[in-house]
Every structure is written in C-alpha cells, then in structure tokens.
Amino acid sequence: MKRIIPVVFALAFLASCKTAPMTVSDFNGMCRFGQSSDHGCGGNAGCSQFEAVISQAYASADACAAACDALYRDMRGAGGCASRVGKARGLCDRYCRSNYQ
C-alpha cells in the first residue's frame, strides 16, 4: 500500500503536465517576435502565409503538416529569409501536431 501512494501521486502529476494545444495567437507570437539569424528580414517573413495554412481545417495532423511542408517548399530560398521561414514552418508543424490527434 505504501508503494501505491507515490505511484498515484506521480501519475497525477504527469497527467497535469499535459500542455494545451497551440493557438493561432500562440503561433503568431512565437513566429513574429522570436529570434532569427536573418538580418534585414522583417519579423513577418512567412508568418502570414503559414497562419493562412493553420487557419484551415484538416482531416489529420499529417494532412495539416503536409500543407506546412508544401508552403515551405514554395517559400524556401525566397527573399533571403531562410531562417525565419524555416522557423515558421517548424511552428506550423508544431501547431498541427498539437491540434490534431
């Protein structure tokens, strides 16, 4: 019985650690105001385009992530903002994985 109590507390703690799904507002905050190594690249580079992707409904996380990947392929190398566009793509994928099961 004494061994069960710590296990129950550990499980309760782990269950409470589940993070909430990322919101579009979370995405925008992390995308627009994060660090980037791209000098002269506006903070909005890629963010609006990826926001449009995550604002649509998808059948699954994989379908959402595929849309992120497709936009990334279209945008990479454009305008010298590779780091920012890559970051936006990563956040887009993270949004998909946290909002679709």
**Domain assignments of the chain as residue spans, ordered by start:** 22-99
Please state the pTM of the whole predicted model: 0.74
pLDDT of residue 21: 92
Residue 98 · residue 23 · CB < 8 Å: no
Residue 64 tokens read as: 């959402």
Residue 51 tokens read as: 């926001």
Regions of the chain with pLDDT less than 70: 1-18, 34-45, 77-79
pLDDT of residue 82: 81
Site of tokens 């099961």: 101
- Distances 32 to 26, 36, 81, 85 between C-alpha atoms, Å: 10, 10, 13, 11
pLDDT of residue 88: 92
pLDDT of residue 19: 76
pLDDT of residue 2: 61
